[in-house]
Amino acid sequence: MAHDHHAQAHPGEDPPDKQRVAFFSMLASAGLAFTKFFAAIATGSLGILSEAIHGIIDFGATIITLFAVRWADQPADDKHHFGHAKVESIAALVETALLFVTTGWIVVEAVKRLMGEGEHVIVTWWAVAIIALSVFIDFNRSRALMKVARQTGSQALEADALHFSTDMWSSLVVLLGLGAVWLKVPFADSIAALIVSVFIAHAGWDLGKRTLDTLLDTAPDGATDAIRAVAERVPGVLSISQLRIRPAGATLFVNLTADLARTMPVESVNRLRQAVARAVAEAYPGADVLVTPNPVALDSETAFDKIELIAQQRGMAIHHLTVQQIDGRLAVSFDLEVEGDTPLGQAHDQATALEMAVRAELGQDVEVETHIEPQPLRLIAGTSASPALTRKVEARLAALAKRQKALRDIHNVRVRQTEDGLFVHYHCRFPGRLPVRKVHHMVDEIENGLQESFPDLCRVIAHTEPVGGKKHDL
């Protein structure tokens, strides 16, 4: 896919030396300009003189370019957050003005000569040789400058390359004009000078338009639609609600806002941001992409989605969320986990704030009830219980299991002793077609029976497996 965007140097290549190529261009401009100037004085040719004046202005332009690329290469700082690349655009704008000044002077002098105020033109072989040599030098310098300009996105070097290119074509016109003068064609030199002015004006117009586009932060042609399409193809992006693009040298700064479901987990949001930035950078190498997520409510959100989102946004852990429809009215209940040492008054305030947030989202007539319970400890130090205690727990588990006809066997029993009490872990097997609700009820009955037999029991963790399946590895 082609894009109106400057290409970058390939990874692993050394970046082109913009300052070095600008310096050699300055030397070339100086040599050509002053050589043409002496040739113009010797021959009296307006065409050569126009080329000489053009060359002298080009020399000044290359000096501007050299200082501009040095300044533009400086990294971003506290005052220039987007770097200094626009210095090159300002330099290019100055060079554009110089091109138009040159054009105006050439046109005025050509018109004067066409109206009879001209002077005799002497055509010499060495003058022709100077112009021919300048065509060769202009061609090579223009190619070298444009190559580096495209690799680095340098507008100043691009402007310099354009100067050398227009010099080459205008020098060819001057050569034709000198040939016509040698063939005794009246006013050929002045006509050649006017043609040169057209070349210069056209080049200045194109350069000035591109430079103003950059200074005015005009997005590259087609970039807005292309970037929007690329970003919206990333899974999870609903739409791009805001998109701002501004070029600065070789860098295309892209600032976009991606609409996404507000129920999306934080980890997924971060992955989506990275995916969008990668997609845009693949389409526009060198782009500096900033993605701002904009969570939006979906029409498909359920009451469960909304309540879980409210709790997540407040950093609260809830479970056993139940939503009922009772006589046309919603009834919501859930368990809220708080730190075990939290005073009841403080925990109740937290629960009340959460309940109010749920009502604000679902409606003030919604019935909301919260069951407050302590959060499970995240890290508990313990040791394996004594063999005697373990055998007692295993015996009691076996007795309780016999009461549950669907339970096939109990295995992998482990008993741990902690400062908070006993932890009992075991695995059991049930028919695979049995509903989870019934399985959970039977496991709860076993836990209740253990609690009666072992008052210091803190928690029972039962891992259920389907009969016939592979046993769970510890």
Mean pLDDT over 342-369 rounds to 90
Q: What is the pLDDT, as a whole number, of residue 368?
A: 92
Which residue has better confidence, 297 or 276?
276
Q: How confident is the model at residue 378 (pLDDT cuts 50, 70, 90)?
A: low
Q: What is the pLDDT, as a whole number, of residue 208?
A: 74
Tokens of 107: 């046109």
| Dihedrals phi, psi of 365, to nearest 5 degrees | -90, 5
Q: How confident is the model at residue 284 (pLDDT cuts 50, 70, 90)?
A: confident
SS3 content of the chain, % helix, strand, coil (to 5): 55, 20, 25
Percent of the chain scoring above 70 in pLDDT? 64
Tell me the C-alpha distance between 168 and 182, whole Å.
21
Place of tokens 């200045």: 204
Place of tokens 């970037």: 227
Buried/exposed code over 344-363 (b: 16+ C-beta within 10 A; e: otherwise): eeebeebbeebbebbbeebe
Closest CA to 16 of 215, 175, 163, 158: 158
Q: What is the pLDDT, as a whole number, of residue 107?
A: 79
Is residue 62 within 8 Å of residue 94, measured between CB atoms?
no
Residues in the chain: 474
Residues in CB range of 437: below 8 A, 6 or more apart: none
> DSSP state, 472?
P
Q: Which of 20-34, 92-106, 114-128, 440-454 has the lowest mean pLDDT?
A: 114-128
Q: What is the pLDDT, as a whole number, of residue 384?
A: 92
Mean pLDDT over 170-188 rounds to 67
Is residue 127 within 8 Å of residue 178, measured between CB atoms?
yes
Percent of the chain scoring above 90 in pLDDT? 24
Per-residue model confidence as pLDDT tens digits over 54-90:
666 666 666 665 555 565 556 666 665 555 556 666 6
Beta strands (DSSP E) in 119-235 are none
Half-sphere exposure of 75 (CA within 13 A, CB side): 2
Q: What is the pLDDT, as a whole number, of residue 9?
A: 37
Q: How confident is the model at residue 120 (pLDDT cuts 50, 70, 90)?
A: low
Residues in CB range of 323: below 8 A, 6 or more apart: 303, 304, 307, 330, 331, 332
pTM of the model: 0.45
Tell me the C-alpha distance between 402 and 413, whole Å.
16
- Mean pLDDT, the chain, as a whole number? 77
Mean pLDDT over 164-182 rounds to 68
- Res 266 pLDDT > 60: yes
Per-residue model confidence as pLDDT tens digits over 29-49:
666 666 666 666 666 665 566
Q: What is the pLDDT, as a whole number, of residue 12?
A: 36
Mean pLDDT over 180-185 rounds to 66
- Res 293 pLDDT > 60: yes
Q: How confident is the model at residue 104 (pLDDT cuts 50, 70, 90)?
A: confident
Q: What is the pLDDT, as a whole number, of residue 163?
A: 65
Per-residue model confidence as pLDDT tens digits over 419-452:
888 999 999 999 989 999 999 999 999 999 999 9
Per-residue model confidence as pLDDT tens digits over 335-354:
999 988 888 889 899 999 99
Tokens of 208: 């000035």
Tell me the C-alpha distance between 168 and 359, whole Å.
77
Is residue 183 within 8 Å of residue 192, measured between CB atoms?
no
- Res 15 pLDDT > 50: no
Looking at residue 319, its amino acid is H
CA 51 to chain centre: 46
Highest mean pLDDT among 136-145, 296-305, 335-344: 335-344
Highest mean pLDDT among 134-143, 179-188, 214-223, 398-407: 398-407
> DSSP state, 114?
I
Per-residue model confidence as pLDDT tens digits over 382-422:
899 999 999 999 999 999 999 998 998 889 999 999 888 89
Which residue has better confidence, 192 or 282?
282
Q: What is the pLDDT, as a whole number, of residue 123?
A: 54
Q: What is the pLDDT, as a whole number, of residue 2?
A: 36
Tell me the C-alpha distance between 268 and 293, whole Å.
11
Is residue 82 within 8 Å of residue 170, measured between CB atoms?
no
- Res 113 pLDDT > 70: no
Buried/exposed code over 47-75 (b: 16+ C-beta within 10 A; e: otherwise): bbbbbbbbbbbbbbbbbbbbebbeebbee
Closest CA to 39 of 225, 231, 232, 171: 171
* Cα Rg, the chain, nearest whole Å: 40
Tell me the C-alpha distance between 331 and 325, whole Å.
6
